Chain A
């Protein structure tokens, strides 16, 4: 999954991930949210390898359910009555569903951060906004440089002077600031010398948009549109209050749940196979 996504062209991977994000944010219908939870949670577990890691997320869902149940008094079916307050089943369900929504988004971003490296972001951002992309790349060059330099400053002072940590930190900050601006002058000269800003820039990158990327993107868009249609036609109007009305599970529902599952697990269809790739 991760290998497939990080080998794809960033644009394809982005379209796929953004599609899931929108679906995860839109859908309220329990069948859809639960399908997403199963698929995304499965992916999360596969990469984390430790079942215990999922506990906090279950915690979020339960907490959300309980909080909503305690504070919201709507709904017709009483589940528990305690201390003069009635907790309705609808409110519990609603809260749980909201928790699942949140957890879905968190799972999705964990996958996103796993397969999207810094260069993917820089590339995407740079193709959308070329000038800001340059600034982004420059900042990415400077950050590790500044970090290393700060460490050097700190080491030299630690070795030479006996001073309190606070004073040293202040001195290092001040030195770093001076150094950062002084050293940026060479960078400015070097950019001017290489003709920055003379003509319209082109954008260089090492990503190639191949047939595979096209297919993947088309599939991701198609599945997204199908699911969007499903949402708009059938699943947008689902209410928990005053009571949950299940419409029953028929073939149409089965198809859309399947579609949602495929949309999320799409990279598996594009997996090249091979044993070596499975091992991280």
Chain B
């Protein structure tokens, strides 16, 4: 389908090359995964596969699409045959209602009305959009929006789908249904799919080809198993990008394996020991005490008789599926939402919102961080070094990568000098490198006496860093134990490794804890 020969590319204003001597082939009807840390050139490479989106800059090498030079491809053909899905579900939507959004591409191609109506009807039924097809797009959830975007592309009968971090902004449920739809399109219509993603969990084993980029170069490529093997050899930094099952199987078998069943069989046979992460019980003063809190409207109470304690220096993670009231909890404690019940708080609290963009007010990062400071300037300097943003100070906040934006937003929140830090989904859209960094920084903050309340979907993150974990159910917190007890005690709602090792004498939570004897 695609043939890329010695592609190098440098952005107009950049000093370094974004892509260096890339050569690869993409077979028709396959799923190719482009992966790598953020800033490695995944999106740049993906944009090169679509004529209209090629960025401006210096380029050498050639890209062939079905035997024609991509630059020579007719615009109509390019529009119809190559679909491109962007990362942010809502920014890429053009029209005001779902049906119009789906028809937008067809309108652009000048499709006759009758045929257009038939196609839209088909797509709506195929993608299960009957309940939302006549709604305004602003009423949809992120997952629904991304499904509509995919449906809008599918309506044009593309041969190739290019997906740029399509699931990074979605919650687990939305991600699941989205990936199922992608898989269906590939299986049933032999669409060629190229997906850029830094999160390999649940996706890697489905791919036919994996390409791992670093600093604009191909680091590893081949089948998932092959690529994982190669990546493993690159050392600890790169190994962190692999999914949990691979990391576990490399530790106990030496070869990568995606299958949970065979991993379970192996684990039962081989000897291993578990080195648990040091979990100390935090015994600081009580900084937040919530008793009998209610929130929500009369018909549907979201929080019911909610009680919770948070100690100084403690990192508390609250897990829960969509709509379980996690965000409501943060809003209630911070006072953005009406509540009843007793909330006693020592000191100030501050919320880090899900979208880092909500905090940026100035045109330069440095000015932005200094806005409305309550802390000392030397404190700011220290945070900048701790978060590793020194080199980015002169840039526009919107030009930073997603992970960097999140870090910058966290500094802004910290500059308001809160005693209790509340994080809403802090790892959303971050690659694993940034996740680990964030986790370590949060631990440092805890040791300095800040308390952290973090609501998240990310179980691995909670298992690796939290001091206590609970899950939301029926408007209350259920569980509320040390991560080890919580995740080994859960049967369904737990980490991959805990699911595998569940019935064994020594259950583990994270792959890093397991050691082969």
Contact = CB atoms under 8 A, between A and B. Distances in A.
Interface of A: 119, 122, 137-138, 140-141, 144-145, 148, 152-153, 155-156, 158-161, 163, 171, 174-175, 178-179, 182-187, 189-204, 206
Nearest to B412: A160
A159 B413 CA distance: 10
B79 A137 contact: no
Identify which of B53, B88, B137, B361 gathers the most chain A CB atoms within 10 Å of its CB.
B361
Contact of B353 (A122, A152, A185, A195): A152
A-B CB proximity, top 3 nearest: A195-B79, A186-B91, A204-B103
B372 A161 contact: yes
A203 B107 CA distance: 6
Contact of A194 (B105, B335, B355): B105
A133 B116 CA distance: 18
Give the size category of B's interface with A: 35 or more
7 contacts: A140-B136, A141-B136, A145-B138, A159-B351, A185-B91, A193-B50, A202-B110
B72 to A, nearest CB: 15
Contact of B104 (A178, A179, A194, A197): A194
Contact of B53 (A141, A152, A193, A203): A193
B92 interface: yes
Nearest to B398: A182
Interface string B74-95: 0110111001101010111111
Identify which of B108, B109, B350, B372 gathers the most chain A CB atoms within 10 Å of its CB.
B108
Contacts of B219: none
Contact of A175 (B92, B110, B138, B360): B360
B75 A189 contact: no
Nearest to A146: B138
Given A148-B138, A175-B360, A187-B92, A202 B86 contact: no
B123 interface: no
A160 B92 contact: no
A204 B86 contact: no
A232 B363 CA distance: 65
A9 to B, nearest CB: 14
A160 B416 contact: yes
Interface string B403-428: 00000000011001000000000000
B97 interface: yes
Contacts of A185: 91
Identify which of B94, B103, B156, B363 gathers the most chain A CB atoms within 10 Å of its CB.
B94
B75 to A, nearest CB: 4
B156 A194 contact: yes
B359 interface: yes
Given A141-B137, A202-B111, A159 B361 contact: no
A190 B372 contact: no
Contacts of A140: 96, 136
B99 interface: yes
A183 B89 CA distance: 11
Interface string B106-127: 1111111100110010000000
Given A198-B108, A199-B109, A160 B78 contact: no
A169 to B, nearest CB: 12
Contacts of A119: 97
A190 B358 CA distance: 23
Given A189-B86, A204-B116, A198 B353 contact: no
B417 to A, nearest CB: 11
Contacts of B412: 160
A187 to B, nearest CB: 6
B471 to A, nearest CB: 25
Contact of B79 (A161, A175, A198): A198
A149 to B, nearest CB: 8
Given A141-B96, A152-B353, A193-B79, A161 B416 contact: yes
Contact of B94 (A191, A199, A201): A191
Interface string B471-498: 0000000000000000000000000000
Nearest to A193: B84
B92 A190 contact: yes
A200 B153 CA distance: 19
Given A141-B137, A175-B358, A190-B86, 17 more contacts: A137-B95, A138-B96, A152-B353, A156-B353, A163-B372, A171-B361, A178-B360, A183-B91, A184-B91, A187-B93, A192-B52, A193-B52, A193-B79, A195-B78, A195-B105, A203-B113, A204-B117
B79 A152 contact: no
